[in-house]
Structure 1
């Protein structure tokens, strides 16, 4: 058996340095993960509730509700300026991005931005025609869609836990849809409810596709591991999505009614403006968390964390908007939580497996160092 022979003191030094560096990187990784989780949960919950508040108080512009989901991207420039990337390229030549690669990245930003703009519009229609608690439960199906897209685009493996989660989440949405479609109240016509339900379902599928495409772009094209890259992806895709929303706002003629909408807002003009501003900020906070988790972990994990807001939003909907939480909706909620827990359990199993592999590698390194120590201490023994 042939080993790389290093001086004992050098081997021990390398081992100790590697261990310290590994521990430091691991803490930094977990800190980044928890920070992005916080951004995602706070932003998504606040943005969903504010979006419903906008409609409840007299807002009616679907394109304006679409625009605020991406128009807050200038605020993302602040951390980009405060925390520039500290990873310097190895040489001046490496800092120059080939024109072909720049064009490819630009096309990715353009394509993703257009898809995000359309997805935001579908969410806006869904939130208008569907109660916010129902809306949140339908959005849980994005986890099932993401499992499918991750399998085909990101080589994500299907396990029994993931399959169980997909089935439960799909069943949850189906029960909710069939029940409320047949019992929709007079405040929301049945046709509009069905339209809102289908658009929210389509938006969830599209959102899952976006996450998988982002992860694929990080892996295959962008191939950089900096905070700057994460923020740039968010800024440029949001810029394109905002342009799509602005074009839609003027093409549809909804811009003509914005002044009257602001004047007729039940809480007043200032509240109207602040609702739009805080909705935009909340969506950007959530988006930074989403893109950050895709960058640090995976699109699948990002979607799992996004679904954590599922049991939170309906509770706030009951408190603030006095929505009814009937038996069918509770059953759908429990099924969705069960599906989410199944996903978390699979993540836990994956983590344990990765930890065992890491411990096995560290054990091999330790044995290698001990072998080298024995070799040096034995004097004239033959090389292994």
Structure 2
């Protein structure tokens, strides 16, 4: 009887060790990945994609509207990109609790210090990217800004290959090529000379900041995906909301430090008084810009979680050729055949 119990105990221990072995876990993950997506997963991906497209387009156009009507503060334009996260806090508390699974029971929870380090690092990177985007949008026309932002796809593909071990399938290569060509065509609708009327130095600063922000955004997408899959290892929407909230909190604090350290906060009242369409429209523009960026953030992080950072960026770049078309409607830019061809290629 004792030998039988010992033999059963050894078999149980051996099965537990095999279940927790890297080979078994890898096989389980591959089996999970190979399973077809359910209707609800496709629905979530569609909603996240719509959030990315609508949020990004509205936020960029509202940012241009802010500058065109008298806004001058780069730090304020940066702040509204990151400070809208409180609107999703109520949803975080009413979201359904996480259902425990076999993987969640056996996974090794990261320490609080590691999690805090992730949120702080990504938050500071987000604040720096947002600041560079604000400078770029200030000094560049919308079409040129959208064109350069398309380079984030190339940066993200590079970082995904290095950091996330992304494999380039024919479908991914097709998306990269078509979306790159689609966005590159937009260069033909701008003048070969400086179209903003600003000095060449200021214009080049705008170009440099936009390229830098695109590179930083691509890096941030890959690092976020790495954090989900290698450190957090939790597959719930609650984790997505936590990432957005804490990362945005850090980015907001960093931006507020810049706002007060630069002294731009002293001119905000005068800027509000001199805004062409009045104080109410000034405040409304900032509020809706903040909401639009949070809609974009939810969609982008959701797509990173559901698919990959590269797919999230592909959807983001898909919306960039839409922005010049919307600029035709709201800012009376000229529409030509190049913009139409760019739209068709993107779709």
Which 10-residue stretch deviates more, 113-122 or 201-210? Answer: 201-210
Q: Tell me whether 160-169 or 182-191 shows the greater mean CA deviation.
A: 160-169
Please report how far the alpha carbon of residue 86 of structure 1 lies from its aligned counterpart in structure 2 after TM superposition.
3.9
Aligned residues: 313
Please point out which of 35, 39, 42 is paired with 2:47.
35
> In the alignment, which residue of structure 2 is the partner of 1:290?
300
Deviation at 1:78, TM superposition (A): 2.1
Provide closer, same or farther for how the CA distance between residues 82 and 133 of structure 1 changes in structure 2, counting only shifts above 3 A: same
**Unmatched runs of 5 consecutive residues or more in structure 2:** 1-34
Q: CA deviation at 1:261?
A: 0.4
Deviation of 1:82 (Å): 2.1
Q: CA deviation at 1:89?
A: 7.0
Spell out, residue by residue over 1:244-266, the C-alpha distance to the aligned partner (whole angstroms, 9 max, x if none): 11000011110000000000000
Residue 190 of structure 1, aligned match among 194, 197, 200: 200
Residue 49 (structure 1) aligned with residue 46 (structure 2):
no
Larger radius of gyration: 1
The answer as to 2:162 corresponding to 1:136 is no
Change (3 A) 1:335 1:168: farther
SS at match of 1:41: helix
After superposition, give the CA deviation of every residue in 1:300-352 in whole Å (9 maximum; x if it has no partner). Answer: 1101111121221101112211234567xx37x856964x57xxxxxxxxxxx
**168-177 or 311-320, which deviates more:** 168-177
Alignment partner of 2:72 out of 30, 41, 60: 60
CA RMSD of aligned residues (A): 2.9
1:150-190 superposed Cα distances (whole Å, 9 cap, x missing partner): 11111112356655665676677778679958411363322
**1:80 to 2:92 alignment:** yes
| 1:360 match | none
Alpha-carbon distance, 1:38 to partner: 1.5
Distance 2:123 2:344 in 1: 31
Unaligned runs of 5+ in 1: 1-21, 342-384
Output the CA distance in 2 between the equivalents of 1:164 and 1:37. Answer: 19
Contact 2:84 2:290 in 1 (8 A): yes
Q: Tell me if 1:241 matches 2:251.
A: yes
Q: What is the TM-score with the length of structure 2 in the denominator?
A: 0.81
User: TM-score, with normalisation over the residues of structure 1?
Assistant: 0.74
